[in-house]
Amino acid sequence: MENQKMPEYETIRAAVAGEKWAVEKVVECYKDEIDRLSTVAVRQPDGSTKQEINEDMRQSITKKLIEALPQFPLEEMEKGNSEKPPFSAAAS
C-alpha cells in the first residue's frame, strides 16, 4: 500500500456524494490493495500451490469499499486532521 496514490479531495467528495465516475476512480486507486487482499494460495493437482485472485473475495472487498464511501469523514479531511488514508486494509 506504500506506493498507492490517494484520490484527490474533489474525487473523494464526489464519491461520498455517490457520483459514479468518482466511485470508479476511488476503486481504481485501491485496485492493487484489493487484489493483494483477495489473493489466495490454491493447491494444484501436483501438490504445489499457485497464487490466484479469488474473484468472490475481490468483489466483496470492493463492495465494502463502495458501501463505506458515504461514511467517509469529510469534515476531518477538510479540517486537515486526517493523516491516515481514507480506507485502510485493516478497517472492515
| Domain boundaries, given as residue ranges, for the chain | 9-74
Evaluate if residue 56 carries a pLDDT over 50: yes
- Count Cβ neighbours within 10 Å for each residue of 43-68 and write b for 16 or more, e otherwise: eeeeeeeeeeeeeeebeebeeebeee
Question: Is the CB of residue 38 less than 8 Å from the CB of residue 54?
Answer: yes
pTM of the full structure: 0.74
Q: Which residue is associated with the grid cell 479540517?
A: 79
Instruction: Place 75 in a pLDDT band, splitting at 50, 70 and 90.
Output: confident
Q: What is the pLDDT of residue 92?
A: 42
